[in-house]
Amino acid sequence: MVIVGGSLAGAFAAAAACGPGRAVTVFERDVLPPTGPAPRSGVPQGRQPHVFLYRGLLAVEQLLPGFGEEMLEAGAVAINTGDLAWFGEFGWNPGGSRQFAVFSASRPLFEHLVLRRVRAMPGVEVRDRIRVESVRRGGSGGSPWLVDLNDGSIEEADLVVDASGRASRLPLWLTAAGVGPARTSEVDARVGYATREYAIRSDRVKPAGIVLQQTPQTLGGGVALPVEGDRWLVGAIGAGDRRPPRDAAGFSEFLDGLPDSALSEIIRTAKPLGDIAVHRLTANQRHHYERVRDWPSGLLVLGDALCAFNPIYGQGITVAACEALLLQRAIGQGLRPGDERRLLRGFCKVAALPWAIATGEDLAYPTCTGKGSPGQVLLHRWTRELGRLSAHGDVLAQSSVARVYHLMAPPWLLFRPGLLEAALLARIRGYGSPTPRPQILTPAVGQP
């Protein structure tokens, strides 16, 4: 088995395929850090804050048992999402409720720990600095696929999994193999991020983390999350002309212009570490490979190469891990020729709700290109109403949205009778008093 791409999606696929008598080779064109966590060019969003959804952490734990303990031992910060100071479109959400226990860590640390586990698996070989030039059909009597590498060698494979991300060349390889093209959907709100790392002890900042949510009205937002090594990642988020800049003065000015001063207060008293990292490749893009009728046997695609999301919603890692679980189950049951298209449809079902959430939110921005379905429009309008209820103290609305957002519940949970009744009564009687600014933000966060 050959996996194209050695980032998280490829590593998850390798963990899923590992088993007695199976040989798995992962080819990664980038240089993988040899000894410890480090940013790399092949993951341009790697220096930005990462949200690890609870469903994704459960999936990774299934693929790599004991991974959560390894994260904590490596310095990841355990937080409960109910403890985040969250400012949305209509104000502050109520805090203090128990929601999901997750980890906050840098992307390089997370990826390093995953790859360390995968490299140690029997029958798995991870080779970096090797670019796959083409994937083509094999001859009669041989392996179904031949993988041409940039060093001139050719790898034979019974199964090829494309996990090469947004830069996937699979459309070209399919055309060369005589396979019909797949339709592509794209929704791009022209969102950009800028992040800087700061040295600050966790006990100097009272909230578990701070989120100033980006909205279609303000176009700007920001986040501050603790990571390993007594560091915080402070990120600025904007769309269109409001995308945050790379220079330090402009970064500070951007945070000063947000609806609340919490993030400005953090950077005012913290020590910056390094330059500001910018990332702007954030379009939602989906390849409808599951609809290609002449899809060839022995070929699969998952992760961002199949469906890529605006990273702000933190869904890509979770979807890739859940897709890997489906792959693991299929291989364990005996993947037969012709099963690949069925498995692709399963991958697309995994991505369906995250796609609806991400594109539904992005389509509300005036900077967005693309068109949403009536269902997406309805979902966005209703979650916006639930956001208004949350900002006025409705914990049920807040927790319901959180469960769906973390992919722990189906979207129909948002339409449970109690929420419909609360929304109707709020329209009749009024929403009541808004949730006050969290006391843990006063006095100013970051002060000694």
Which phi-psi region, left, alpha or beta, contains residue 317 (left: φ > 0; alpha: ψ -120 to 50)?
Answer: alpha
Phi first, then psi, for residue 134 (nearest 5°) are -160, 155
What is the DSSP secondary-structure string of 160-182? Answer: EEE--GGG--HHHHHHHTTPPP-
pLDDT of residue 448: 41
Q: Are strands 160-162 and 220-227 parallel, antiparallel or unpaired?
A: unpaired
What pLDDT score does 441 carry? 84
| Stated length of the chain | 448
Structural domains present in the chain: 2-50+106-186+283-358 (3.50.50.60), 191-280 (3.30.70.2450), 374-429 (no CATH)
pLDDT reading at 202 higher than 70: no
Q: What is the DSSP letter of 296?
A: P
Please say whether the beta carbons of 245 and 236 come within 8 A: no
- For tokens 């000694």, what's the residue? 448
Q: How confident is the model at residue 364 (pLDDT cuts 50, 70, 90)?
A: very high
User: Residue 447 — pLDDT band, cuts 50, 70, 90?
Assistant: very low
- State how far the Cα of 132 lies from the Cα of 148, in Å rounded to an integer: 6
pLDDT at 446: 47
| Predicted local confidence at residue 413, as pLDDT | 95
> In this prediction, what percent of the chain has a pLDDT beyond 70?
98
d(CA 201, CA 232) in angstroms, rounded, equals 8
As a whole number, mean pLDDT of residues 371-379 equals 81
Q: What are φ and ψ of residue 439, in 5° steps?
A: -65, -25
Say whether pLDDT at 224 is over 80.
yes
Tell me which of 374 and 271 has the higher pLDDT: 271
Tally of CB atoms within 10 A around 237: 27
- What is the mean predicted confidence (pLDDT) over 280-309? 96
* CA dihedral of 435, 436, 437, 438, whole degrees rounded to 10: -80
* Mean of the per-residue pLDDT values of the chain: 93
Retrieve residue 353's tokens.
């709700």
Cα(105)–Cα(101) distance, integer angstroms:
13
443 upstream amide cis, omega within 30 of 0? yes
- pTM above threshold 0.85: yes
Residue 269 banded pLDDT, cuts 50, 70, 90 = confident
Over residues 106-130, mean pLDDT:
97
pLDDT digits (tens, 9 = 90+) for 342-351: 999 999 999 9
Quote the CA–CA distance of 27 and 153 in Å, as a whole number.
12
Cα(220)–Cα(197) distance, integer angstroms: 19
Q: How far is CA 67 from CA 153, 302, 340, in A?
A: 35, 22, 29
